[in-house]
């Protein structure tokens, strides 16, 4: 993540979004919850960028690079966690 953040607060907040997405997915297993949470993240990120930029049109590509780098790192970390978790499940006891 590009900013120093309180990890516990970050994970607690993320868990709330995930709980909502999981509840939505239980009612509609079509995959819309995942798409909706990504759309919400993109929409909120645009709002966040607009709040910190003096000239969003000029800063647009820079903001996309920052947000994309953050997302790519978070996605990579979580994919690796799932890979490790799934590998541990397949290890015989």
pLDDT-flagged residues of the chain (< 50): 1-2
CA distances from 75 to 5, 52, 59, 65 (A): 17, 24, 24, 15
For residue 9, how far is the Cα from the chain centroid? 14
Instruction: Please tell me the distance from the alpha carbon of residue 49 to that of residue 33, in angstroms, as a whole number.
Output: 24
C-beta of residue 39 within 8 angstroms of C-beta of residue 21: no
Query: What is the pLDDT, as a whole number, of residue 55?
Result: 98
pLDDT value of residue 3: 59
Write down the pLDDT at residue 38: 96
pLDDT confidence of residue 1: 47
């Amino acid at each position: 993540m590009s900013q120093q953040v309180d990890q516990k607060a970050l994970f607690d907040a993320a868990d709330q979004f995930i709980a909502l997405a999981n509840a939505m997915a239980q009612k509609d297993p079509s995959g819309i919850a995942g798409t909706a949470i990504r759309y919400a993240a993109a929409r909120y990120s645009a709002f966040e960028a607009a709040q910190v930029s003096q000239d969003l049109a000029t800063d647009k590509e820079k903001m996309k690079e920052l947000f994309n780098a953050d997302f790519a790192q978070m996605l990579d970390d979580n994919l690796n966690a799932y890979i490790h978790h799934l590998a541990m499940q397949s290890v015989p006891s």
